[in-house]
Amino acid sequence: MITPLSSETLSDFFTFFDFTCESDALQAFIGLLRETASHHQNIIHAGYADQTPFGFVSLKITNDVDNIPGLLIEFLYIKPEYRLKTIGDTPRYSFSMLDDIIILAFELQKNVAINHVFLIPVDENKRAMYFEYGFENIPGSGKNPFEDFMVFNLLSDIEV
């Protein structure tokens, strides 16, 4: 299960991560996410395997996609040693975290008018992974096709 972090606990949480193997651009982006979270512009949720953090996700409510309100996955990070691994017989860690995000979105939907979860994949491999999970492409929603949003619809299909 993912756990929201308060701005007071962010610094301690991030001591569990070593980003030195990541690109300078990624390190800078993570720094920006930490800064915006400390100013309550987004919320960082931690993912744990037993008591050990394996990743985090930055979330916020937005209407940036065609003025449709939804939950935006700004960034999902899994520690390198946990990437492509499964949790016993359950899906890989990234899918486990996505499951928790979708559950959270359904809970938020009870209080906030959102019906979608949005994200922009970092590359085509991630786009394929999110498509496998159930996200759909929104063609023309980005500055170019590589920046197009993907959406997970929280509304059930209603048969007429």
- State the DSSP H helix or E strand holding residue 154, giving kind and residue range, or none if neither: none
Confidence of residue 91 (pLDDT cuts 50, 70, 90): low
**Ordered domains of the chain (ranges, CATH):** 2-153 (3.40.630.30)
Over residues 101-147, the pLDDT tens digits come to 999 999 999 999 899 999 999 888 889 989 999 999 998 888 877 88
Q: What is the pTM of this model?
A: 0.88
Residue 160: predicted pLDDT: 42
- State the DSSP H helix or E strand holding residue 132, giving kind and residue range, or none if neither: helix 124-133
How far are the Cα atoms of 27, 36, 97, 151 from residue 158, in angstroms, in the given order?
Answer: 43, 38, 27, 18
* Contact yes or no for 60/85 (Cβ under 8 A): no
